Structure 1
Amino acid sequence: MKKTNFFRSFFLAATLALTSIGFTSCDDKNDVEPELPVEVRGPYDQKGVFVLNEGNYTHTNASVSFMSDSAGHTVANNIFSKANADRPLGDVLTDLDLVEDRAYITVNNSNKIEVVNAYTFKTEAVLENLKQPRYFAALDADKAYVTEWVVYGEPGRVSVIDLKTMQITKSIPVGPQPEELILVDSKLYVANSGENTITVINTATDAVENTITVSDSPTNLVLDRNKNLWVLSAGKVMYTSDWSAIDYTLTTAGALNRVTLTTQNVQTFTFDSNRTMPANLAINGSGDKLYFNYDGKTLVQDINASSLSSTVIIDRSFHGMGVDPETGNIYGGDHNNWSGDGTVYVYSPDGTQVSSFKAGIGPNGFMFN
């Protein structure tokens, strides 16, 4: 996971505004207007990266860490609980999104979205009674969507959320096990990992408009600079009749699909083996390079490539991965066999490791602000 959001854009706009104030002057130096002080609204009102720590399944030890971009790159762990009287965040953190001055934290096995102040991480609201929520996407400050599995193996749904009231206004049926979702213009695209489809929803009517067929088990979605949608499909795993082993005669290989949204044409790049699954698709800030994990390695691919890349940029894979859109640095989370805290490794755009730090249990995604 995944991402950037409105928060970093706001920070940059504010910085530019203050800079312009600082350089506004008349010819007389005595007429120079003083710079206005920057109001700090909380410890996370600064540039940095939030780390999503999944936690152990069926436990309530999911958490959020924050590494500051300031000198020293200070790391603060367990920031939700510390801001909320040691209350645990919940069971299996899957997503965190920043929308204006709020952060929306999706906690899958606790069946909720925790809404916190983005600068302090103190809870402002909780949307409960969801059914296995996975990922969240905001259309604007008033409306958002969340994917829900509901029941494993059966059709899932996308619920529409009124962000002002934190109420569900509509639920839209989609394919089984819906995972990541992405907004492009007036359309919402939803990856149905329990089959081989992308559901297309019109955000004006909140009705299903179309279904795009891709490779088996689509999970990750990113948009490139040409407004092509890239879909990472893990491949369908099939088992022997007694469920004792994987049946590789029936299991399908994973694939990377490029969808031209204007025509909905799908180009498929299939991986060479069905014995390892690709994961963790990410894209750089300029939208021209893709990153993904496959066969224990991290590979990079140009969006204009005519075949699947074999270029290894980091000689290992990760539990979760993200790319800072400003620096191009690659962040990878290691769950350390789920025995205690995980580790986050940071690499420069050329794949050279520049740092590492401890986070919570099972770091599986990153939100840059």
Structure 2
Amino acid sequence: MNIRKILSLVAASMLLFNVSCSTDSSFEETIDGTLRFDSGVIISNEGGFTTTTSEVSYISNNLATVFNKIYGVNNNNEPLGKVLQSIGFNGDRAYLVSNIPNKIDIVDRYTFKKQTTVTSNLDGARYIAFSGKQYYVTNSNFDTHKRKLNVYNISDNSFVKSIDLTNAAEKVVEANGSIVVQSDGVGYDANWNAIPTGYTVTIVNPSTNVISQTVNLPNEGIIRDLISYKECLCTGFG
């Protein structure tokens, strides 16, 4: 998602995932007849900033089948939220990170049936990454300018700690045994004009959950994407 446009009413980001070694894109069913959303593409529909329209769609690999609103349909039409910021995958679970309201809905990644919801210490939840027995969630509150990386235990989703960041916290990935945070982004003035907050990538040691290094980037533009420890796409601001 273009991180400058947090007020856009409709946005969608595509997350490709292959959960089967087979090239067969036909649907499988569980014992109770529930559809399995594998061998295809999951699409996170961000929704409107002021309306409860976030949802998730599925497209089969051969593009022949589309299912919309797979979260609501499989959870008694429960609304997902207003701003579905991102989706992360770990094992047989999908983590749906919603910026508004601040929550992470954890679902079975194949059936999208909800298992639990995490809300503890979230404040402008953005993106998620996994390392060992823990997961990491970036938070950026554009009103209070609070920026941090939250750490949670995968086993019981208990909150571990927050790691404060100087600049806006956006994308986060696990790479080369480290947690790498895009601690470069934008803030907003009173008229919601984008303002760069810094030009860094922050590296966290997942064994200690302490910042081990801050990498300074060229003092211009903003990071457009963070792929891994060695792949950081930067472009001019605007």
**TM-score for the superposition, normalised by structure 1:** 0.51
Q: Relative to structure 1, is the Cα distance of residues 104 and 58 closer, same or farther in structure 2, using a 3 angstrom cutoff?
A: same
Q: Do residues 160 (structure 1) and 169 (structure 2) align? A: no
Superposed displacement of residue 168, structure 1: 1.3
Q: Do residues 44 (structure 1) and 36 (structure 2) align? A: yes
- Report the equivalent of 1:207: 210
Q: Do residues 177 (structure 1) and 168 (structure 2) align? A: yes
- Report the equivalent of 1:86: 77
Q: Do residues 59 (structure 1) and 51 (structure 2) align? A: yes
SS of residue in 2 equivalent to 1:11: coil
Superposed displacement of residue 232, structure 1: 2.8
**TM-score for the superposition, normalised by structure 2:** 0.78
- Report the equivalent of 1:232: 234
Superposed displacement of residue 153, structure 1: 6.2
Q: What's the CA shift string for 1:4-42, capped at 9, x where partnerless? A: 56xx3x522xx59xxxxxxxxxxxxxxxxxxxxx97444
- Aligned counterpart for 2:139 among listed residues 148, 154, 174: 148
SS of residue in 1 equivalent to 2:182: strand
Per mean C-alpha deviation after superposition, the further-off stretch among 41-50 and 191-200 is 41-50
Q: Which amino acid aligns with 1:138?
A: F
Q: Which amino acid aligns with 2:126?
A: R
**Which structure would you say has the larger RCO, counting Cα contacts within 8 Å and 6 or more residues apart?**
1
Superposed displacement of residue 45, structure 1: 4.2
Q: Relative to structure 1, is the Cα distance of residues 213 and 125 closer, same or farther in structure 2, using a 3 angstrom cutoff?
A: same
- Residue pairs, 1:55-134, within 5 angstroms: 55-70=47-62, 73-129=64-120, 130-134=122-126
Q: CA RMSD in A?
A: 2.3
The structure whose residues are more often helix, as a share, is: 1
- Report the equivalent of 1:221: 226
Q: Relative to structure 1, is the Cα distance of residues 167 and 150 closer, same or farther in structure 2, using a 3 angstrom cutoff?
A: farther
Structure 2: 5+ residue stretches without partners:
1-12, 186-196
Superposed displacement of residue 217, structure 1: 3.0
Q: What's the CA shift string for 1:331-366, capped at 9, x where partnerless? A: xxxxxxxxxxxxxxxxxxxxxxxxxxxxxxxxxxxx
> Quick one: distance in 1 between partners of 2:57 and 2:205?
35
**Which structure's CA Rg is the greater one?**
1
Q: Relative to structure 1, is the Cα distance of residues 112 and 200 closer, same or farther in structure 2, using a 3 angstrom cutoff?
A: same
> Quick one: distance in 1 between partners of 2:169 and 2:211?
14
Structure 1: 5+ residue stretches without partners:
17-37, 234-252, 255-276, 278-369
- Report the equivalent of 2:177: 186
- Report the equivalent of 1:197: 200
Q: Percent identity?
A: 26
> Quick one: distance in 2 between partners of 1:219 and 1:166?
30
Q: Do residues 11 (structure 1) and 11 (structure 2) align? A: no
Superposed displacement of residue 186, structure 1: 1.7
Residues 15, 44 of structure 2: 8 Å contact kept: no
Residues 150, 157 of structure 1: 8 Å contact kept: no
Q: What's the CA shift string for 1:270-290, capped at 9, x where partnerless? A: xxxxxxx3xxxxxxxxxxxxx
> Quick one: distance in 2 between partners of 1:62 and 1:106?
11
Q: Which amino acid aligns with 1:207?
A: V
Residues 143, 163 of structure 1: 8 Å contact kept: yes
Residues 28, 35 of structure 2: 8 Å contact kept: no
Q: What's the CA shift string for 1:265-312, capped at 9, x where partnerless? A: xxxxxxxxxxxx3xxxxxxxxxxxxxxxxxxxxxxxxxxxxxxxxxxx
> Quick one: distance in 1 between partners of 2:225 and 2:144?
19
> Quick one: distance in 1 between partners of 2:97 and 2:53?
14
Superposed displacement of residue 56, structure 1: 0.7
Q: Which amino acid aligns with 1:44?
A: R
Superposed displacement of residue 132, structure 1: 0.7
Corresponding pairs, count: 205
Residues 223, 232 of structure 2: 8 Å contact kept: no
